[in-house]
Chains A and B, each alone.
Chain A
Amino acid sequence: MTNRESKKRLPLRCPACDAQLKVSKMVCVQCGTEVSGEFDLPVLTRLNEEEQHFMLEFVKASGSLKDMAKKMGVSYPTVRNYLDDLIEKLNNMAEE
């Protein structure tokens, strides 16, 4: 038996009907306390992995698009367009 660790990804959409998933249970791994209910996922966690990575790097770069462009090896408007599309996506999520 191999002891290989697999990285679990947080599922965001229902695999059956593709609807937005919600949190229904949270567990304290220390004492085992369970909290049940229906909670919305925070907006940022609803972004895909690549978008979340971009957001993190953007914050680390103090919000400088020029630095981000250098780091990603792309042009300034390419980064700005990516950010604008992301803002639009976040706005749409907030409206949902």
Chain B
Amino acid sequence: MKVLFEFLKNPFYRVAGYTSLVWGVVGMVVATAIAFCGGVHYHGLLHFGGAPNGAWWCFVVEHLVVWLVPAVLIYVSALFCSRSHVRPVDVLGTVAFAQLPFVLLSLLMAIPPIREITSVQTVEEVELLLSDMGRLLLVVWIGLLSLLLTIWVLYWMFRAISVACNLKGRNLWLVFIIGAFGGDVLCRYLIGFCY
């Protein structure tokens, strides 16, 4: 139990490089398949929901962009901030592994009643939703669970940067902010071309 907890706290202490890359890519393929079946779009690293383009390639592009853009930003900024030799495979692998909770997130968002709620767009539909206490509670739960899963991804990304780039303190936070939040902005811009 303690070993599992330690692993969940920082999986990159034991897993990095090609092993993490294989696990991350497998997770990405599964998450993409679930997202395609459930119509769950990733508009950015931290944004998800419905979107007008339902083509299969759009889901593939979204997942690739959400993985590669933060990874490249982290790698480039780590070249300036880290005193260690940073291997691209460690950054790509650990960032992909850190996004494994997206499988659970896609699964959660693909559940039919949740899909119905997340596809609400008109004012009438929103008013109807607010008047139904049961559905309103479901919205709160979806929000909390998706927030927790997103925090999990961010936490693992933070750990991934710390191990893959050997960063601590201010430099670690700087690279994390560039990778996660700068990555989200850039992802949203790039994915916007798909719609």
Chain A residues contacting B14 (CB-CB under 8 Å) are 73-75, 78
Is B109 part of the contact surface with A, judged by Cβ < 8 Å?
A: no
Which single residue of chain A is at the shortest CB-CB distance from B17? A76
Is B90 part of the contact surface with A, judged by Cβ < 8 Å?
A: yes
- Give CA–CA (A80, B85) in the complex, Å: 9
A84 and B16 in contact, given A77-B164, A77-B166 (Cβ under 8 angstroms): no
**Interface hits, B154-172 → A, CB 8 Å:** 163-164, 166
Which single residue of chain A is at the shortest CB-CB distance from B15? A75
Which single residue of chain B is at the shortest CB-CB distance from A84? B84
- Give CA–CA (A88, B83) in the complex, Å: 10
A78 and B12 in contact, given A84-B83, A84-B84, A84-B166 (Cβ under 8 angstroms): yes
Flag A20-55 by CB within 8 Å of B: 1 or 0 each: 000000000000000000000000000000000000
Chain A residues contacting B20 (CB-CB under 8 Å) are 75
Which single residue of chain B is at the shortest CB-CB distance from A73? B14
A73 → chain B, closest Cβ, in Å? 7
Chain A residues contacting B15 (CB-CB under 8 Å) are 75
Residue of A74, A80, A88 near B13 (CB, 8 A) is: A74
Flag A64-86 by CB within 8 Å of B: 1 or 0 each: 00000000011111101100100
* Contact present for A76 and B84 (CB under 8 Å): no
Residue of B17, B19, B163 near A81 (CB, 8 A) is: B163
Q: A75-B19, A77-B164, A80-B84 are in contact. List 8 more A-B contacts (CB 8 A).
A: A74-B13, A74-B14, A76-B16, A76-B87, A77-B12, A77-B16, A78-B16, A84-B83
Binding site for A on B (CB under 8 A): 12-17, 19-20, 83-85, 87, 90, 163-164, 166
Between A and B, 15 residue pairs with Cβ closer than 8 Å are: A74-B13, A74-B14, A75-B19, A75-B163, A76-B16, A76-B17, A77-B12, A77-B87, A77-B163, A78-B14, A78-B16, A80-B85, A84-B83, A84-B84, A84-B166
